[in-house]
Structure 1
Amino acid sequence: MAKTPASTRPNAASTFSMLGADTVITGNIEASADLHVDGRIDGDIACNALVQGEDSRITGSIRAETVRVAGSVSGTIAARDVVILKTARIEGDVSYDTLTIEQGARLDGRLSPHGGQMPPAITQSAKPAEAELVLTPTK
């Protein structure tokens, strides 16, 4: 599916940044680009789309249109579309419009559907209706 550029910059819709496994960032990241993180981030992330690698660790809140989590996250996730892969370990609340969780993923927090509203950066405002999901491994 072709994307329409969001600005007059050439290739604005296909802007992509990758943080390798040897990268450690302490501080907040704000980007209009899509991010792929294989390293470690100690800070909040705000971007268009986030893809997290299996060995990656993020300590801080994540706010994006789409988030794909495969590593470790200690913080709140707020996105329209959230995919939590089986290798993911999340300690924090997840606010979403659509949610996919693979069997084997671990989540220690609350799941909150937000009905199409992109939530503001982690605020103290009233939370929307909450849903709880408990994953139990079967053998």
Structure 2
Amino acid sequence: MFSKAAKTDKAPELSTTVGDAARKAPKAASLISQDLTVEGAIVGEGELHLDGVIRGDVRVGRLTLGDTGHVEGAIQAETVDVRGRVIGSITAKQVRLYGTAYVDGDITHEQLSVETGAFFQGRSLKFQRPAPVALAAPEPEAQSA
């Protein structure tokens, strides 16, 4: 009726899904606190939470600009949430300007949301996705007589 499982000397093998999940685990956001000023470019693929000042360009995966955060330079990211001050352009798929935001510069985006109270001076430029290219049917070759 019941049988014991045979003992083996082999260690259990780890599934590849466990390894994949560990590699895709969310990383903690980097933080530049209110009392810090950075002069120069910031480049990375992760998330940055900024409460301090950056005088230079910022290119990250996601930027969250706190109420005391300030950027003087161009911003490029997948997502940008602005509660502080930006003097320069923003290029991102998704941009949110909260009520305390101050942005003086152009915003290039796919999605833009602006809360009541936010200041925005510049142009709002929508990303232009390239139209799908239709494959042309091959033209019949002329036959020689």
TM range, smaller chain: 0.7 to 0.9
Superposed structure 1 runs of 4+ greater than 2 Å apart: 7-15
Unmatched segments (≥5 aa) in structure 2: 1-19, 131-145
2:64 is aligned with what amino acid?
A: V
Q: Which of 14, 17, 24 is the matching residue for 2:30?
A: 17
- The 5-angstrom pairing of residues 1-139 of structure 1 reads 10=23, 13-116=26-129
Unmatched segments (≥5 aa) in structure 1: 1-6, 118-139
Aligned counterpart, 1:128: none
TM-score, with length taken from structure 1: 0.74
Q: Percent identity?
A: 33
**What number of residue pairs does the alignment pair up?**
111
Q: What's the Cα RMSD here? A: 1.9
TM-score, with length taken from structure 2: 0.71
Between the aligned partners of 1:56 and 1:81, the Cα distance in structure 2 is 19
Between the aligned partners of 1:21 and 1:11, the Cα distance in structure 2 is 30
